[in-house]
Structure 1
Amino acid sequence: MEKRMIKKIKRKDPKGLDYIINTYSSKVYFLVNKIIGFYGKEEVEECVSDVFYKVWESINEFDEKRGDFSKFIYMKTKYLALDYKRRLEKSKLHNNLEKDISNDISIEHIALDRESSEEIVKVINSFKEPDKTYFYLKYFMYYKIDDIATKYKTTRASVENRLYRCRLKIKEMLERRY
């Protein structure tokens, strides 16, 4: 049965993907949760989803002479979860830096100066999508980060990272000016 499903996956037949999700999802979820579970359920679910996508995309790397298909999936799971863990740790570091930056230069305080405001708007308008949209929604429309993430079907961490990079660009512009 498994060999038949592997062939289906290689032909990009969705039934093969359904089979591996139904067969391996609980073990994949368990492994991912062991590695990054303390970061939250949303991150675990996103990683599990990415594992199955990665297996789907890299199915041609599977060689049954080198081991079982389950080992192939579990190795993909392990390495992807470790990548997520590194990214999440980096994001945590960025959030701490963000607090430090906000203590140094308050965007709201500088925005009171009209010239600065015009320059800030130019910098914001130069942002690529979806950064510009996220920034406007957060700081001009007062959306919550979770609402932005839900609306654009992404993670909270992704929105936070993009907003952080936007604020850094504004800070750099302001530092050059002053």
Structure 2
Amino acid sequence: MNEDQQLISLIRDNPQEGLSKAIELYGGTLKWIIIKILGNSSPQDVEECMSDVFVKLWQNIDSFKIERKVPLKSYLFGITRYTAIDYSRKNSTQMEFIPIEESEIGVSIDFTDELTKEHNCQILQEAIDELPEPDKKIFIHRYYLHQQINAIASRLSLSPKTVENKLYRGKQKLRQSLIERGIVL
């Protein structure tokens, strides 16, 4: 039984001990992810978000499939990211939600199969990681952290027009990279 299987069994059999072990193993990284997404939120918001992450892990532990070869920490990082984004949306009345739509980069992907979705998300993440700076930062701030163009421009000391142009060109580069990696358009 590998470490993930042991932790999953522990969470199922003894939730208090299992979640304590999960916090010990991943708490620092999860807190870092939450702080990066929530920005200048209060320590109470960060702790509340972190608590919600572990509640969601406990509630959904039976739906985690070890045979999919996705590490538990990756699953947990995803829960953390989405939970923190939800908190960020709730706490920000000025935040504009801009999803990275498949149609924006000219990609048509069938996400009906969960395994395919995970694989395609990994390919998308790798393609974004390979974007040059500051394009990568612009993409992350716009489509992962849902920041407005003016805020991104200010943070990166660029003009809003430069940010818009880099987003446009970045989507073209991303589209080509996805084609090369085997995502069918």
**Structure-1-length-normalised TM-score:** 0.48
Q: Which has the higher contact order (CA 8 A, sep 6+)?
A: 2
Higher helix share: 1
